[in-house]
Amino acid sequence: MPRRRTLGTKKKIALLVGAASVAGGGAFVMASTSNATPPAPATRSAQDSSVCQGLATALGNNQRFIEDQRANPDAQSAARIANREAVVEEIRRKQEASGCAVGESAQDSPTAQPPQAGQEAGGQGGEQAAGEQAGQQVCNGSTVTLSGEGGAPAASSNQFPVGTRLKVTNLDNDKSTTVEVTSVSGSCALLNNAAFEQVREPGKFLIRRALIEKVG
C-alpha cells in the first residue's frame, strides 16, 4: 500500500505565507485601482483659444466697470454693480462650459489694425471734432467682445455718451451692426449679447479685427 507523503510543518507554513502574500498583493492592487481618481479635465487659457480670450476680455471689462463704479459711485451705481455682477457670473459659467480657465480675466487690449481704404486713424481726413459727419472711425485698433447683458441689440462705452450710434463691422466675416450706446462700460465699445450675435463668427467671443464707426 503506497504511503502518503505528508508535508513538513515548515513547508506548510511557507505555503500559507506565500498564499497570504499573493492574496494581500491582489487586494492592494484592487484597493489602489478603486481609490484612483480620474485626472481633472485640462483647461485652456486665454492664450490657447480665441473663445477663452474673448470671455477673459469680457470678464475683465466687466470687472473694471465694477471697480470704477465703486471708486466713483453715484445714485445708480448699486444697481449697475448688481447687474454687472450677474453678468460676471454668467461669463464664468460660459468659461467653465467652454473648457476655459474659470475666472481668468484680461483687460481690453488694442491690437494693431491697418487703416481701411480711404480712412486714416481718427476718421476720414484726420482728427475730427465730436459731432462731425457720420462714418467717423473711432476706437482704432480695439478688439470687440460682449458685455453679457441681455435685451435688444445695444452697446456700452466709456468714451461715448448714451444715445450715440455706433456701427461695428467684423472684418473677418464682413458682418455689421449699428447700435445705440445705452450704458457705460469699461471698454470703448462693448456689445450686448443680441448685438454681438449679429456680427460674431460661430464659436467665437472676440472680434480681433473690428471697424468701429460713430454714425450718429
Map out the domains of the chain as residue ranges.
50-97, 136-214
Rounded CA-CA distance 30/204 in Å is 45
Q: State residue 75's pLDDT score.
A: 87
C-alpha cell of residue 92: 464664468
- Helices 50-71 and 77-97 meet at what angle, rounded to 10? 160
Is 212 within 8 Å of 144 (Cβ atoms)?
Answer: yes
3-state secondary structure of 171: coil
Q: Categorize the per-residue pLDDT at 44 as very low, low, confident or very high, splitting at 50, 70 and 90.
A: low
In the chain, the amino acid numbered 177 is T
Q: Sign of the CA dihedral 196, 201, 202, 203?
A: negative
Q: State residue 114's pLDDT score.
A: 36
Q: What is the mean pLDDT of the chain?
A: 74
Q: Which helix or strand (DSSP H or E) is residue 34 part of? A: helix 9-35
- Whether pLDDT at 36 is above 80: no
Q: State residue 22's pLDDT score.
A: 45
Rounded CA-CA distance 19/13 in Å is 10
Q: What homologous superfamily is domain 136-214 in, according to CATH?
A: RlpA-like domain (2.40.40.10)
